[in-house]
Amino acid sequence: MKRLWAPWRIEYILDEKKHNVCLFCDISRKTGKNRTDDKKNLILYRGKYCFVMMNKYPYNNGHLLVVPFYHTSSFEGLSDEVLFELIKTVKRSVDILKKAMNPEGFNLGLNFGKVAGAGMESHMHLHVVPRWTGDTDSMPIIAETRVMPEHIQKTYNKIKKFFKE
């Protein structure tokens, strides 16, 4: 029998599941003025109304989340200013991923509600997933395992420098 070792998955398996706590609200507030926890929380960028972070359990290397600071499960309650910054930040994220990782395409996704596949249905967010030819295989279907070719911290460092520009 062959084994595929994926030691980073143990973090997800053992991760404390906090009930009645919004992950996005929690981590966006955790960092004070010095932003010392941003790297730990995989936050790449903070705007006035939204922030960009890496998905801790990505579909692909470079999988980003663009999240408004305002806690809402849909577009309800978001001002035009927030919506404008949200979509501009998605565009900027795509542009940065093109420079940093040279993907051949992208999937952009916004799920509303649990039945739509949203794991964080109480706080809307947009997924920005870079794609390459051949980046999908049978491992997720057969073994419920996703093979990631680059460690998430290395990807974070690669992308972060472009957000500083």
Q: Which residues are catalytic?
A: 125
- 159: amino acid identity, one letter: I
Rounded-to-integer distance, Cα 128 and Cα 45, Å: 14
* Residue with tokens 């980003």, as numbered in its chain: 64
Q: How crowded is residue 78: how many other Cβ atoms within 10 Å of its Cβ?
A: 18
Is the Cβ–Cβ distance between 118 and 112 less than 8 Å? yes
> What is the chain's alpha carbon radius of gyration, rounded to the nearest angstrom?
16
Residues 6 or more apart from 154 whose CB is under 8 A from it? none
3-state secondary structure of 119: coil
- 37: amino acid identity, one letter: D
